[in-house]
């Protein structure tokens, strides 16, 4: 399951993900991370049956954790069918239909985030 983790980096800069791996023994796959000197956001993938354990452990360390149980959100009204998302998506979530309109298969999405930055019209966002 995908978890979106937000944390601040105070004095001491605790390596939260590393600490949770050590404390729980769960192997965490980091899909993407944006971390600067004051805060961080990471999208992680954990086994379904250990999701709650990881979530509780991260929360106890001060992180905010949100379960992402849907694929990328697609706002059709903002889309101009440019195809930029097709070329960057590693899971072939997007394709053109015979009329060159964008087709979107959300169930294939692994929430890697690559299409969000590629879209010039901000038609793609993380699910709420």
Cβ atoms 21, 46 nearer than 8 A? no
Q: Which of 23, 50, 113, 125 binds ligand SF4 (CB under 6 A)?
A: 113
CA distance 75 to 25: 39
Regarding 109 and contact with ligand SF4 (CB under 6 A), the answer is yes
Is 98 exposed, middle or buried (CB count within 10 Å of its CB: 0-12, 13-18, 19+)?
A: exposed
Stretch that binds ligand SF4, among 7-15, 20-28, 51-59, 87-95 (CB under 6 A): 87-95
Q: In the set 20, 54, 65, 89, which binds ligand SF4 (CB under 6 A)?
A: 89
How far is the C-alpha of 31 from the C-alpha of 51, rounded, in Å?
A: 15
Nearer CB in complex with ligand SF4: 20/74 = 74
Cα angle 72, 43, 81 (rounded to 5 degrees) comes to: 25
Q: How many chain residues are in contact with ligand SF4, going by CB under 6 A?
A: 27
Which pair of structure tokens corresponds to residue 107? 């169930």
State which of residues 4, 21, 61, 88 lies at the interface with ligand SF4 (CB under 6 A): 88
Length of the chain: 128
Binders of ligand SF4 in range 25-84 (CB under 6 A) = 71-72, 79-84
For binding to ligand SF4 (CB under 6 A), which residues are involved? 71-72, 79-85, 88-91, 93, 102, 109-115, 118-119, 121, 123-124
């Amino acid at each position: 399951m995908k978890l979106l983790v937000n944390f601040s980096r105070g004095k001491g800069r605790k390596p939260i993900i590393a600490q949770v791996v050590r404390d729980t023994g769960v192997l965490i796959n980091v899909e993407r991370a944006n971390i600067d000197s004051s805060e961080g956001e990471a999208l992680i993938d954990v086994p379904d049956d250990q999701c709650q354990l990881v979530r509780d452990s991260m929360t106890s360390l001060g992180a905010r954790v949100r379960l992402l149980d849907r694929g990328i959100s697609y706002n059709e009204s903002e889309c101009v069918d440019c195809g930029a998302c097709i070329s960057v998506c590693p899971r072939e979530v997007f394709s053109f239909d015979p009329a060159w309109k964008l087709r979107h298969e959300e169930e294939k999405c692994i929430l890697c985030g690559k299409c969000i930055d590629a879209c010039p019209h901000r038609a793609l966002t993380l699910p709420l």
